């Protein structure tokens, strides 16, 4: 038999591999509900279930082996087309997955399988393999009764009320990093090269040779490579927490008698594990609200001229060291007047002032603890706590939330979250005594004008300054004045007009809103910055998206190019000069 240390390692590997396989099985089963004739999916699900069964046998968890073997028999009949992968059969298999996950959680805590009674789910599976009624899944999801929660492995089945616990335990891989051995070898090689370069540098300094600069350049390159690799290992795609939400949407839709599907875009967007862990807390609440309050029942959607299948959409992307996430649905939307009335009734808004609040200001009331316009509390929502959790999560992440909604058309939540840590190739700029940086990805061109060329190319227009670059006029934003306004109020500092300066350095930038130019006092060197999020004290300064420590020990601020573009969105777009 294995010694204790070896058994601990094997158990950790057993749990990690089986949880990954169960996730794959769940994704496959959910896809089979939409495409029951897909043999490739069936074969994939069968292989993963076979892996789980084999792992249970290897670790001598005989009861789990028996349960997964029964599930494997049902999948084999599906592969042979003796039964079909309709919603009833898929529901039973999903219930089995919950049972296995529940038992694995107990094994993780106690180190043993315990004495679970799997007779009921096994009998249900055997009945299906004999061609019995596949529509009843209640055997697999019983109501919760009293029991000792410290021994979950003794209960064969999960309960409905344990669903939030399943959501919390999902994505457990966020706490650990599994790396192929070749990646560890690559890290060791980098560390070895750094050690060798350090010895060369010490030798050069000790003996006064001229090789020190060359060695330093080599060390800098290796350090950047090492930084890149280590940061990559902290990043995971947002799909890690989004993929399990397909199951949540399916179960919520079935429970509420609605038809809904989850659409995911940008699931490959990589985020720091700490950010993902916090986001995980609020995603379930947003989807619960979308299904319970947003998506209408099929007959209502049909009357409204909509497809009976409601869509909930998740979209993510990374821009300029920040994560942008959208959660939207095509449901009934938010009733701004209903929210306004309820907020006044609860004393959250002043009756007189509330009449003049813009829609988005009124919508923000839904984040207040205990706020709900639902008259009846359900198992899914209605207590007014979910959106409060979302708001608190964004506060911890120094993120922002914007809401837009159209009655009868749907609702959209837009989140902007700073990446916990990222390496951004940047260009350093000087303004006053401060140093700022812009991502190189946003830079179109760098131009410097001196003497009379400043007057020829910089023009004062009604809405501000413009700069002429090869017969095109672009909005020109003086960086010193932009930075001064949010820090000291709206009054511009007493600086010379741009046209009268002896030199004007221009950075032409591109953002989603178009192209514009930034006037700076100095253009310094390109540099790869390890960007950290802004302190909460400065989180209201949206034109700044992060901070970075420079080689001399000073701090540089990373400029948010998208916000700078919006800042002067009233400036006319670039035009072509005719003469």
- pLDDT value at residue 103: 93
Say yes or no to pLDDT of 343 above 70. Answer: yes
- pLDDT value at residue 267: 92
Say yes or no to pLDDT of 378 above 60. Answer: no
Helix, strand and coil percent figures for the chain, each rounded to 5 = 50, 20, 30
CA distances from 461 to 260, 458, 467, 469 (A): 52, 10, 10, 16
- Picking from 157, 159, 232, 220, the residue whose alpha carbon sits closest to that of residue 190 is 220
Residue range 388-398: mean pLDDT, rounded = 80
445 vs 438: CA distance, rounded Å? 12
> Which neighbouring-strand residues pair with 544?
559
**DSSP output for 144-207:** P-S--TT-GGG-SS--GGGHHHHHHHTTGGGG-----HHHHHHHHHHHHHHHHHHHHHHHHHHH
563 vs 511: CA distance, rounded Å? 9
Say yes or no to pLDDT of 185 above 60. Answer: yes
Write out pLDDT tens, residues 134-149. Answer: 444 433 443 333 333 3
Which one is predicted more confidently, 80 or 541?
Answer: 80
Which residues are within 8 A (CB) of 65 and not within 5 positions of it... i.e. 6 or more apart? 53, 56, 57
Which one is predicted more confidently, 328 or 151?
Answer: 328
Q: How many CB atoms lie within 10 A of CB 302?
A: 12
Say yes or no to pLDDT of 38 above 80. Answer: yes
Return the structure tokens found at 344: 């006044």
Sign of CA pseudo-dihedral 533, 537, 541, 544: negative
Say yes or no to pLDDT of 160 above 60. Answer: no
Beta-strand relationship, 422-431 and 434-439: antiparallel
How many Cα atoms sit within 13 Å of 323 on the Cβ side? 29
CA angle 303, 309, 313 (to 5 degrees): 120
Which one is predicted more confidently, 19 or 532?
Answer: 19
Write out pLDDT tens, residues 72-128. Answer: 999 988 888 888 878 788 888 999 999 999 999 999 988 888 888 898 999 888 888
> Which neighbouring-strand residues pair with 558?
437, 546
- DSSP 8-state code for residue 385: -
Which of the four pLDDT bands, split at 50, 70 and 90, describes residue 490? very low
424: left (phi over 0), alpha (psi -120 to 50) or beta: beta
Say yes or no to pLDDT of 51 above 90. Answer: yes
Report whether 562 contacts 548 (CB < 8 A): no
Return the structure tokens found at 158: 């999960």
Which residues are within 8 A (CB) of 325 and not within 5 positions of it... i.e. 6 or more apart? 238, 279, 314, 315, 316, 414, 415, 416, 417
Residue range 440-462: mean pLDDT, rounded = 87
46 vs 189: CA distance, rounded Å? 40
Return the structure tokens found at 298: 């099929």
Write out pLDDT tens, residues 299-328. Answer: 999 999 999 999 999 999 987 667 899 999
Sign of CA pseudo-dihedral 343, 410, 414, 246: positive
Which residues are within 8 A (CB) of 157 and not within 5 positions of it... i.e. 6 or more apart? 95, 98, 99, 102, 120, 121, 140, 141, 142
């Amino acid at each position: 038999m294995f010694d204790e240390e070896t058994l601990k390692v094997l158990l950790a590997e057993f749990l990690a591999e089986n949880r990954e396989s169960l996730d794959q099985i769940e994704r496959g089963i959910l896809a089979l509900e939409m495409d029951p004739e897909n043999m490739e999916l069936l074969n994939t699900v069968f292989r993963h279930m076979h892996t789980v069964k084999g792992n249970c046998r290897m670790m001598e968890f005989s009861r789990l082996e028996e349960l997964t073997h029964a599930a494997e028999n049902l999948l084999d009949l599906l592969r042979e087309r003796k039964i079909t992968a309709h919603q009833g059969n898929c529901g039973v298999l999903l219930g089995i997955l919950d049972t296995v996950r529940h038992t694995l959680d107990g094994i993780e805590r106690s180190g043993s399988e315990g004495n679970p009674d799997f007779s009921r789910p096994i009998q249900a599976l055997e009945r299906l393999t004999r061609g019995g009624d596949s529509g009843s899944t209640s055997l697999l999801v019983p109501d919760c009764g009293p029991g000792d929660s410290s021994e979950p492995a003794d209960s064969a089945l999960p309960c409905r009320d344990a669903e939030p616990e399943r959501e919390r335990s999902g994505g457990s891989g966020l706490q650990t990093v599994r790396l192929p051995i070749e990646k560890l070898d690559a890290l060791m090689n980098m560390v070895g090269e750094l050690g060798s370069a350090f010895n060369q540098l010490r030798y050069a300094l000790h003996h006064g040779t001229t090789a020190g600069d060359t060695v330093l350049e080599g060390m800098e390159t290796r350090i950047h490579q090492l930084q890149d690799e280590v940061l990559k290992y902290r990043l995971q795609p947002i799909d890690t927490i989004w993929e399990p939400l397909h199951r949540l949407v399916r179960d919520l839709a079935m429970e509420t008698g609605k038809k809904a599907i989850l659409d995911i875009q940008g699931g490959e967007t990589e985020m720091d594990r700490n950010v993902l862990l916090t986001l995980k807390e609020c995603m379930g609440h947003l989807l619960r609200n979308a299904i319970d309050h947003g998506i209408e029942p099929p007959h209502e959607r049909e009357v409204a001229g909509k497809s009976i299948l409601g869509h909930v959409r998740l979209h993510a992307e990374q821009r300029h060291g920040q994560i942008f996430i959208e959660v939207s649905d095509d449901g009934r939307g938010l009733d701004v007047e209903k929210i306004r009335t309820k907020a006044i009734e609860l004393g959250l808004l002043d009756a007189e002032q509330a009449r003049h609040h813009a829609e988005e200001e009124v919508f923000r009331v839904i984040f207040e603890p205990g706020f709900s316009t639902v008259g009846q509390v359900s198992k899914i929502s209605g207590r007014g706590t979910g959106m409060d959790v979302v708001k608190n999560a964004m506060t911890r992440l120094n993120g922002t939330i914007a809401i837009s909604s159209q009655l009868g058309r749907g609702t959209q939540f837009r989140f902007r979250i700073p990446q916990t840590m990222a390496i951004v190739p940047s260009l350093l700029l000087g303004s006053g005594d401060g140093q700022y940086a812009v991502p190189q990805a946003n830079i179109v061109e760098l131009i410097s004008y001196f003497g009379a060329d400043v007057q020829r190319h910089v023009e004062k227009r009604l809405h501000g300054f413009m700069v002429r670059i090869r017969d095109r006029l672009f909005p020109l934003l003086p960086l010193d004045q932009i930075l001064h306004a949010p820090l000291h109020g709206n009054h511009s500092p007493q600086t010379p007009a741009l046209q009268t300066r002896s030199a004007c350095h221009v950075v032409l930038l591109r953002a989603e809103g178009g192209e514009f130019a930034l006037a700076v006092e100095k253009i310094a060197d390109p540099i790869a910055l390890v960007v950290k999020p802004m302190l909460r004290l400065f989180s209201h300064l949206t034109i700044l998206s992060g901070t970075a420590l420079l080689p001399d020990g000073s701090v540089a601020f990373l400029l948010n190019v998208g916000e700078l573009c919006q800042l002067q969105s009233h400036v006319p777009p670039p035009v072509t000069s005719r003469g």
